[in-house]
């Protein structure tokens, strides 16, 4: 084969064996090391495919026929699974999903992190891996004059109308359906992304799994919401658990769901939920883990790895509304939390008061700026917990961790690739990763959350 030639041509039909899954759940087959991605194929399967797109470094194929089916293949229970971009692996048995995630983490730690000898435990999964999400963010659109709402189709911005979603709490389904009906009843137009016209952009619901409380957020393009009073009354009449009805205004041409302005239309500004013994107030825009049962599992693991005796000073970086901070504060001497979203920090402070925890303090700002400042002020934590967004920790933050010389670092991560990169940095600067525990926060999807136990060498 010439250097610039690919092993397959467009429209060619080939027989392949699938070895792996991509991050969006497509099967990966390799020909002379050249990957071909084929939606809905599973590792261990073989089949006839037609090549539909050829690029220099990869091709995309369409499955024509499976000649060898995986024993782990199951019938996806959701009728719109094929088109909807929300879940990726409903066609893989739950046991196999958990093992795939464990292996994926192990492989990434080895490849990117150069961490060959770290134990990656079996993924902690759910007994019932359905209906677990406490939050739905559903874009609204129109088709043939009718209001539709649902997730985007895979790799597109086309809305797949969704009568229900079996990874979400039932109450979210009822809410979305009700708001669709109310939009029709009161003539509220859906937002049109292309023309930047219309009113209703997103329906967001949040549900306190352990309190039953419900928040409904209507994200609109402008301040105007026709028939506001009637809509509020209808929501209250139809959703008895609703505690908070909120309008968020997002006038921008953007993919970002929320705008800067939030107005309470009725009820409270927040809803409450509990994780373990800690109660949390959650406002419309604050980050709160979407799977409350597994959050408890995750935080218990983080607490175990923090190994607290009651005498420790702890930093919780990227603390959100202080969830991990307050979990740790029950067992530590003092906890510092830092987070970039001001509303989240205001929730965190309220949450500390709500739980009578006086040994936690919170700062708004970029963790990579606040941590060096704390260091300069003489703060010397025994344990540092980090729970960054997908892009991982900023290098300045890792440098500050190294300078602070904590005994332990607990790294909570939603992206194994950046986790591996950051653990490598820590390994090069005197810290050893002892073990990694994947926790399945997002069953039926390719996402995997991990907690890593890291200790300073020579302790």
Show which residues are catalytic.
Answer: 414
What number of chain residues touch ligand SAH (CB under 6 A)? 18
**DSSP codes, 196-264:** TB-SEEEEEEEE-TTT--EEEEEEESSS--TTHHHHHHHHHHH-TTEEEEEEEE--SSSS-S--SEEEE
Return the number of the residue (341 or 455) whose C-beta is nearest ligand SAH: 341
Smallest separation (angstroms) from ligand SAH to the CB of 281? 13
CA 62 to chain centroid: 29
Smallest separation (angstroms) from ligand SAH to the CB of 338? 6
Return the number of the residue (320 or 416) whose C-beta is nearest ligand SAH: 320
367 contacts ligand SAH (rule: CB under 6 A): yes
Provide φ and ψ at 177, rounded to 5°: -60, -45
The residue assigned the tokens 């086309």 is 158
Selected range binding ligand SAH among 94-102, 220-228, 338-346, 445-453, rule: CB under 6 A: 338-346
The residue assigned the tokens 């979210």 is 172
Return the number of the residue (220 or 400) whose C-beta is nearest ligand SAH: 400
Return the number of the residue (106 or 339) whose C-beta is nearest ligand SAH: 339
Smallest separation (angstroms) from ligand SAH to the CB of 139? 22
Smallest separation (angstroms) from ligand SAH to the CB of 65? 43
341 contacts ligand SAH (rule: CB under 6 A): yes
340 contacts ligand SAH (rule: CB under 6 A): yes
Put the strands of the sheet holding 200-207 in their side by side order: 146-149, 135-143, 200-207, 214-220, 242-249, 261-267
264 contacts ligand SAH (rule: CB under 6 A): no
Sequence-distant (≥ 6) Cβ neighbours of residue 18 within 8 angstroms: 27, 28, 29, 38, 41, 42, 43, 44, 45, 46, 47
Return the number of the residue (60 or 363) whose C-beta is nearest ligand SAH: 363
Provide φ and ψ at 420, rounded to 5°: -60, -45
The Cα-based distances of 108 to 33, 182, 232, 386, 416 in angstroms read 18, 47, 48, 19, 7
The Cα-based distances of 102 to 67, 111, 336 in angstroms read 27, 14, 32
Selected range binding ligand SAH among 10-18, 44-52, 140-148, 365-373, rule: CB under 6 A: 365-373
Smallest separation (angstroms) from ligand SAH to the CB of 279? 14
Q: Write out the binding residues for ligand SAH, residues 132-151 only, by CB under 6 A.
A: none
Of 16, 225, 324, 448, the one binding ligand SAH (CB under 6 A) is: 324
Smallest separation (angstroms) from ligand SAH to the CB of 415? 11
Encoded one letter per residue, x for contact with ligand SAH by CB under 6 A and - for no contact, window 384-423 reads: ---x-x----------------------------------
Of 258, 293, 259, the C-alpha closest to 276 is 293
Encoded one letter per residue, x for contact with ligand SAH by CB under 6 A and - for no contact, window 279-318 reads: --------xxx----------------------------x
Instruction: Please give the Cα distance from 129 to 132 (Å, whole number).
Output: 7
Return the number of the residue (94 or 299) whose C-beta is nearest ligand SAH: 299
Put the strands of the sheet holding 119-120 in their side by side order: 119-120, 431-439, 449-456, 408-413, 383-386, 313-317, 334-339, 360-364
Of 385, 383, 363, the C-alpha closest to 374 is 363
441 contacts ligand SAH (rule: CB under 6 A): no
Return the number of the residue (183 or 215) whose C-beta is nearest ligand SAH: 215
Of 16, 89, 290, 344, the one binding ligand SAH (CB under 6 A) is: 344
State the virtual CA torsion across 153, 156, 157, 160 in degrees, nearest 10.
-10
Residue nearest to ligand SAH (CB): 320
Helix (H) or strand (E) holding 278: strand 278-283
Smallest separation (angstroms) from ligand SAH to the CB of 256? 13
Give 103's Cβ-side CA count (13 Å radius): 10
The residue assigned the tokens 């220099």 is 56
Return the number of the residue (101 or 285) whose C-beta is nearest ligand SAH: 285
339 contacts ligand SAH (rule: CB under 6 A): yes
Smallest separation (angstroms) from ligand SAH to the CB of 317? 7
**What is the contact surface with ligand SAH in residues (CB under 6 A)?**
287-289, 318-320, 323-324, 338-341, 344, 366-368, 387, 389
């Amino acid at each position: 084969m010439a250097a610039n030639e690919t092993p397959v041509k467009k429209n060619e039909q080939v027989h392949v064996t699938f070895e792996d899954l991509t991050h969006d759940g497509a099967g990966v087959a390799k020909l002379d090391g050249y990957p071909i991605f084929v939606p809905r194929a599973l590792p261990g399967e073989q089949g006839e495919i037609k090549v539909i797109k050829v690029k220099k470094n990869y091709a995309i194929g369409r499955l024509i026929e499976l000649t060898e089916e995986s024993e782990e293949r199951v019938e996806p229970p959701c009728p719109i699974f094929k088109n909807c971009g929300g879940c990726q692996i409903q066609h893989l048995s739950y046991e196999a999903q958990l093992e795939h995630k464990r292996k994926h983490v192990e492989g990434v730690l080895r490849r990117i992190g150069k961490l060959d000898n770290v134990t990656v435990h079996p993924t902690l999964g759910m007994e019932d891996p359905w209906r677990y999400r406490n939050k739905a963010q559903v874009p609204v659109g129109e088709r043939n004059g009718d209001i539709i709402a649902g997730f985007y189709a895979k790799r597109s911005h086309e809305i797949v109308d969704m009568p229900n979603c079996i990874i979400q709490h039932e109450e979210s389904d009822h809410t979305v359906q009700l708001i669709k009906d109310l939009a029709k009843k009161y003539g509220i137009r859906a937002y049109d992304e292309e023309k930047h016209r219309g009113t209703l952009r997103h329906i967001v619901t949040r549900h306190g799994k352990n309190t039953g409380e419900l928040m409904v957020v209507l994200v609109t393009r402008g301040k105007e919401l026709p028939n506001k009073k009637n809509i509020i009354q209808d929501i209250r009449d139809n959703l008895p658990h609703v505690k908070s009805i909120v309008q968020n205004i997002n006038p921008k041409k953007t993919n970002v769901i929320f705008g800067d302005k939030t107005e309470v239309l009725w009820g409270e500004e927040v809803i409450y939920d509990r994780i373990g013994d800690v109660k949390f107030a959650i406002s419309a825009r604050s980050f709160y883990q979407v799977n409350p049962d597994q959050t408890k599992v995750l935080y218990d693991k983080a607490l175990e790895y923090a190994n607290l005796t009651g005498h420790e000073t702890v930093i919780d970086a990227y603390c959100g509304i202080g969830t991990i901070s307050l979990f740790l504060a029950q067992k530590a001497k003092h906890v510092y939390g830092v987070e970039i979203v001001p509303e989240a920090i205001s929730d965190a402070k309220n949450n500390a008061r709500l739980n009578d925890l006086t040994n936690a303090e919170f700062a708004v700002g970029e963790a990579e700026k606040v941590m060096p400042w704390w260091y300069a002020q003489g703060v010397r934590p025994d344990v540092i917990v980090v729970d960054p967004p997908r892009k991982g920790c900023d290098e300045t933050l890792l440098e500050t961790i190294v300078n602070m010389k904590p005994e332990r670092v607990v790294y909570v991560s939603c992206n194994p690739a950046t986790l591996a990169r950051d653990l490598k940095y820590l390994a090069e600067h005197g810290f050893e990763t002892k073990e990694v525990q994947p926790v399945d926060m997002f069953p039926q999807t390719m996402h995997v959350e991990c907690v890593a136990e890291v200790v300073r060498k020579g302790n």
